Amino acid sequence: MDKEQAQKRAEELRPLLQYYTQKYFDDEQVVSDYEYDMLMRELKQIEKEFPDLITEDSPTQRVGSSIKKGFEKVTHEVPLQSLQDVFTFEEVEEFDERMKKAAEEFGRPLDYVVETKIDGLSSAIEYRDGKLVKGATRGNGLIGEDVTENIKTIKTVPKTLKEPISITVRGEVFIGKEDFEKLNENRLLDEQEQFANARNAAAGSLRQLDSKITESRPLNIFIFNVQKCEDINFETHYESLLYLEKLGFNVNPVKILCKNMEEVRKAIEDIGNMRDKLDFGIDGAVVKVNDLELREKVGTTFKTPKWAVAYKYPPEKKETLLKDIICQVGRTGAITPMAILEPVHVAGSKISKTTLHNEDYIKENDIRIGDRVIIQKAGDVIPEVVGVVKEKRDGTEKIFHMPEVCPVCGAQTVREEGEAVWRCIGIECPAKLYRSIIHFASKDAMNIDGLGEAIIGELIERKLISNIADIYKLTFDDIASLKKNGKKFAQNMMDAIEESKHKDLYCLINSLGIRHVGVKLAKTLTKYYKTMDDLMNSSYEELKMIDDVGEITALTISEFFKQNQTIDLIEKLKQAGLNMNAFKEENSDNRFDGKTFVLTGGLQNYTRDEASEIIEKLGGKTSSSVSKKTDYVLAGEDAGSKLKKAQELGVTIISEEEFVAMIS
Residue 223, pLDDT score: 97
Cross-sheet strand order for the sheet of 84-86: 84-86, 308-311, 282-289, 112-118, 255-258
CA angle 503, 508, 514 (to 5 degrees): 160
The helix/strand/coil state of 412 is strand
Asked whether 511 and 492 are in contact (CB, 8 A), the reply is no
Asked whether 78 and 227 are in contact (CB, 8 A), the reply is yes
Residue 398, pLDDT score: 96
The helix/strand/coil state of 244 is helix
State the DSSP code for 521: H
In angstroms, what CA-CA distances link 320 with 44, 355, 363, 376? 36, 15, 19, 11
Residue 30, pLDDT score: 56
CA–CA dist 391, 303 (Å, integer)? 48
Query: Rounded to 5 degrees, what are φ and ψ at 333?
Result: 100, -5
In angstroms, what CA-CA distances link 610 with 454, 469, 624, 643, 656? 30, 31, 15, 20, 13
> Is 117 annotated in the active site?
yes
Give the model confidence (pLDDT) of 332-344 as tens digits: 789 999 999 999 8
Cα-trace Rg, the chain: 31
Residue 380, pLDDT score: 47
Residue 276, pLDDT score: 74
Asked whether 9 and 46 are in contact (CB, 8 A), the reply is yes
Low-confidence ranges of the chain (pLDDT < 70): 21-35, 62-69, 347-349, 378-382, 585-588
Residue 75, pLDDT score: 94
Residue 625, pLDDT score: 84
Run of H or E including 560 = helix 551-562
CA–CA dist 174, 221 (Å, integer)? 6
Q: Which amino acid is at 506?
A: Y
Q: What domains does the chain contain, in order, with CATH numbers?
A: 3-61 (1.10.287.610), 73-311 (3.30.470.30), 317-399 (2.40.50.140), 413-575 (1.10.150.20), 596-663 (3.40.50.10190)
CA–CA dist 397, 371 (Å, integer)? 6
Q: What is the DSSP string of 80-104?
A: ----EEE-SHHHHHHHHHHHHHHHH
Residue 29, pLDDT score: 55
Residues sharing a CB contact under 8 Å with residue 296, sequence separation 6 or more, in sequence order: none
Identified catalytic residue from 8, 48, 100, 117:
117
CA angle 534, 537, 539 (to 5 degrees): 115
